[in-house]
Chains A and B, each alone.
Chain A
Amino acid sequence: MNEFSILLPIIIPLVGAMLVIIVRRLGGMKEGAALLATIFSLVTAIMLYGRELNYSLPWAGFGMEFTLRLYHFSAFILLAVSVFAFLITLYCCSFMRGKSYGVWFYFYLLISAAMVNGAVLADNLILMLFFWEGLLVTLFGMIAIGGKEAFKAATKAFIIIGICDLCMMFGIALTGYLAGTMTISKISMSPGSLGSVAFIFLMIGAISKAGSMPFHSWIPDAAVNAPLPFMAFLPASLEKLLGIYFLARISLDMFKLDVNSWLSILLMVIGSITILAAVMMALIQKDYKKLLSYHAISQVGYMVLGIGTCLPVGIVGGLFHMINHALYKSCLFLTGGSVEKQAGTTSLDKLGGLALKMPITFICFLVAAASISGVPPFNGFFSKELVYEGALQRGAIFYLAAVLGSFFTAASFLKLGHSAFLGKVSDANKNVKEAAPAMLLPMIVIALICILFGVYNHFPLSNFIKPILGEQRLAGHEFAINTTLIVITVVVLTGALLHHLFAVKITGSGLKSADYIRYAPVFRGIYNRAENKYFDPYDIGLKIVNVITKTAWRIDRAVDWIYEGLTVRAVYLFSNGIRSAHTGNYSLYIVWSLLGAVLVLIVIMKSV
């Protein structure tokens, strides 16, 4: 393998995407092409793993170079991306059957994989931005193929992420100016006053890609309308991987954040708020997909919190949580997909008692739900413990927020599991069958990995996560799990279970187990406002924009008149004048020439 092989992770999915388009009319070939491309890129990612490669091409000049760099961190992300791309394509082979937009879904999926790979490999900020923006386009496309309503959600996502990317673009420009180079691996500075500004802008780009608050509001909207595998693929796994990867890069390598920095506090605060606010929203949802999507936001909080601690244990926890979350959350979305495909709905009101009809889906759901709730010995437990430990060292309040988040997570999944899989079988669901093998296989594989990463957590930690920080940073740190914290966690989870049982007993149904929180005195007002999107920065922005638009419209009329009326008229006036001067008369033309010659001679001879 020479240095060109670093291009393969970008090229193979792109070629695959073209292939999908080419063979789309041949029945069944498009799935084959997409699968083949993802298998190839998986093989490539495995072969590339553990290598260090650099590849550089001159590009647009001015410091913009086509520089790619493969090292353990990017190789790890590549591997994860390829695994998810493969599994989700496999899942879609069955899920997408009979849907008109299947071709475009595969197309966007492969392009997205290529873009993520490119962004991860890029060692130049501008080049990375190029791939980063490419992902925005495919994101838009993937949501928009869901239909008319989905198009609205797609526009919302596009605008929110677009604005955040704009911030990031500014951050990149500032960083490049401060560092004097656009090459990521050469940038290494401590955030000064201007550097902090640059960091914040880059951070906005990173955490908005990851879906953290306050840039989250498109995810629940998209969840309702977009194809479910999309949720499993982009918001749940790939975007988290990319966003957190970049956050880790900027806070570990490019800007040397340390414990004393206020930026670290900022990150932790954002993380804590995201955990709590999103999980509270998740708790009251009555739709399978929407509930999961709020968890997709909430879990980002743990990662941001972990990295924000600036302590090795927290960072390791955050990154480990990143991969764990990608696993269990995509698994959860896939179970959601199976339920939707088989039962025809994801509304929790209409579901119930599916556990016996879809036993394998239910088991996969159980494993993933236990992981996300942090039940030992599943993988989520270990990464959360590491984050807890880091948070506790920085301040009890952050720890408290994290543990409280865990409590509500557990509670909401108990509610979800109860109302979807347990309880009475409703009439509509009587004939529901287990999903097709091609859909089950990815779920089973991911669930197995969840268990593996939990039971043998040393394997991913020492093979994947720890090399990212390097020997130096890790020196002198032990990752033994603190027994006290485990005890607290177990107590909290037990509390959540008891709470659920208690609530079910009072309200009489799993679905309504959280309703008393929904209608509690203070929360009721907050929830009402949240449901009316008072807290959605996008909607607030839209209202402000409306006012500005009306004012601008009036100014615009005036300006328009200048452009469309005055300028055009002036141009035509001149134009007609010039045209009428061209009479086609020879002597006139000769006179022009001679007069011109006289003027030229005057200028040239005058200078002697």
Chain B
Amino acid sequence: MVLILNIILLVLFVVGAVWTMMTTRLLHSAVGLAFTSAVLTVLMFQLDSPLAAVFELSVCAGLVSAIFISTIMLTKRVTAEELIVQRKIRLASFWFLPIVVVAAAIVLSLIHIPVDFKLPEPPVENNVKNIMWNLRHLDLMGQIAILLTGVFGVVTLFKESKHD
């Protein structure tokens, strides 16, 4: 029962992602993203990771989608002719993806890699919290740098220049 549910969820996840990519309407794309995030949330609950699930739901499915949709509302719709052209371009750039996936699958099954996904036990059972927090002071600096970069990015790329 759980297995069937999981498979359905995975299929929904993939379908949502593909739709997000392939649709020509920005709005549909944003909704697709929100939907995919929602499915991911359920999957995370299934994987016993409620904290991550809640974070995913609130930020990705909720906040980000809300921003996207509100922004898209401000844009202009394309005409029907443009839409057809867009659709053709989209198809032209993605048609071979399924073929590649199938081909890769065939190749992989022919090569036969004996897959054994058992992980070796870590030599010392470390406290994950200790590793992820107490030894991470350097990363803190890196993360601050990333944030700063983001700020500069927004300032340079999105703030209208007074000189223009």
B2 to chain A, nearest CB (A): 29
State whether A595 touches B104 (Cβ < 8 A): yes
State whether B97 touches A598 (Cβ < 8 A): no
Residues of B within 8 A of A606 (CB): 111, 113
Tell yes or no: A602 within 8 A of B by CB. yes
A interface footprint on B35-71 (CB within 8 Å = 1, 0 otherwise): 0000000000000000000000000000000000000
Tell yes or no: B94 within 8 A of A by CB. yes
Q: A590: nearest residue on chain B (CB-CB)? A: B97
State whether B97 touches A587 (Cβ < 8 A): yes
Cα of A586 to Cα of B113 in the assembled complex, Å: 30
State whether B100 touches A585 (Cβ < 8 A): no
Tell yes or no: A591 within 8 A of B by CB. yes
Task: Give the contacts of A550-605 with B (CB-CB under 8 A).
Answer: 585-588, 591, 594-595, 598, 602, 605
Cα of A595 to Cα of B104 in the assembled complex, Å: 8
Q: Which DSSP category, helix, strand, loop or mixed, fits chain B's interface?
A: helix
Q: B103: nearest residue on chain A (CB-CB)? A: A595
Q: B99: nearest residue on chain A (CB-CB)? A: A591
Cα of A391 to Cα of B117 in the assembled complex, Å: 93
Tell yes or no: B96 within 8 A of A by CB. yes
Residues of B within 8 A of A594 (CB): 100, 104
State whether B113 touches A591 (Cβ < 8 A): no
State whether B93 touches A587 (Cβ < 8 A): yes
State whether A591 touches B111 (Cβ < 8 A): no
Cα of A453 to Cα of B115 in the assembled complex, Å: 96
Task: Give the contacts of B58-94 with A (CB-CB under 8 A).
Answer: 93-94
Tell yes or no: B108 within 8 A of A by CB. yes
Residues of A within 8 A of B94 (CB): 587
Q: What range describes how many residues of A lie at the interface?
A: 10 to 19
Cα of A605 to Cα of B116 in the assembled complex, Å: 10
A453 to chain B, nearest CB (A): 82
Cα of A440 to Cα of B104 in the assembled complex, Å: 94
Residues of A within 8 A of B96 (CB): 591
Residues of A within 8 A of B97 (CB): 587, 591
B94 to chain A, nearest CB (A): 6
A140 to chain B, nearest CB (A): 61
Q: Which DSSP category, helix, strand, loop or mixed, fits chain A's interface?
A: helix
B18 to chain A, nearest CB (A): 12
State whether A591 touches B100 (Cβ < 8 A): yes
- Residue from the list A588, A598, A605, A608 in contact with B104, Cβ < 8 A: A598
Residues of B within 8 A of A595 (CB): 100, 104
B86 to chain A, nearest CB (A): 15
State whether A602 touches B100 (Cβ < 8 A): no
Would A586 and B93 be within 8 Å (CB), given that A598-B108, A602-B113, A606-B111 are in contact?
yes
A568 to chain B, nearest CB (A): 33
Residues of A within 8 A of B100 (CB): 591, 594-595
Residues of B within 8 A of A605 (CB): 113, 115
Interface centre among A587, A598, A608 (most CB of B within 10 A): A587
Cα of A17 to Cα of B120 in the assembled complex, Å: 74
Residues of A within 8 A of B111 (CB): 602, 606
Residues of B within 8 A of A598 (CB): 104, 107-108
Q: B115: nearest residue on chain A (CB-CB)? A: A605
A452 to chain B, nearest CB (A): 84
A594 to chain B, nearest CB (A): 8
Residues of A within 8 A of B115 (CB): 605
Residues of A within 8 A of B104 (CB): 594-595, 598
A608 to chain B, nearest CB (A): 8
Cα of A598 to Cα of B104 in the assembled complex, Å: 8
Q: A605: nearest residue on chain B (CB-CB)? A: B113
Cα of A598 to Cα of B106 in the assembled complex, Å: 12
Cα of A148 to Cα of B139 in the assembled complex, Å: 75
- Residue from the list A585, A602, A608 in contact with B93, Cβ < 8 A: A585
Residues of B within 8 A of A591 (CB): 96-97, 100
Residues of A within 8 A of B93 (CB): 585-588
A569 to chain B, nearest CB (A): 30
Q: B114: nearest residue on chain A (CB-CB)? A: A608
A261 to chain B, nearest CB (A): 72
Residues of B within 8 A of A587 (CB): 93-94, 97
B17 to chain A, nearest CB (A): 14
Task: Give the contacts of A162-200 with B (CB-CB under 8 A).
Answer: none
Interchain Cβ contacts under 8 Å between A and B, 10 examples: A587-B97, A588-B93, A594-B100, A594-B104, A595-B100, A602-B108, A602-B111, A605-B115, A606-B111, A608-B114
With A586-B93, A587-B94, A602-B113 known, 20 other A-B pairs at CB within 8 A are: A585-B93, A587-B93, A587-B97, A588-B93, A591-B97, A591-B100, A594-B100, A594-B104, A595-B100, A595-B104, A598-B104, A598-B107, A598-B108, A602-B108, A602-B111, A605-B113, A605-B115, A606-B111, A606-B113, A608-B114
Taking beta carbons and an 8 Å cutoff, which residues of B are in contact with A? 93-94, 96-97, 100, 104, 107-108, 111, 113-115
Q: Which 7 A-B pairs have the closest CB atoms?
A: A587-B93, A605-B113, A585-B93, A591-B100, A598-B104, A587-B94, A602-B111
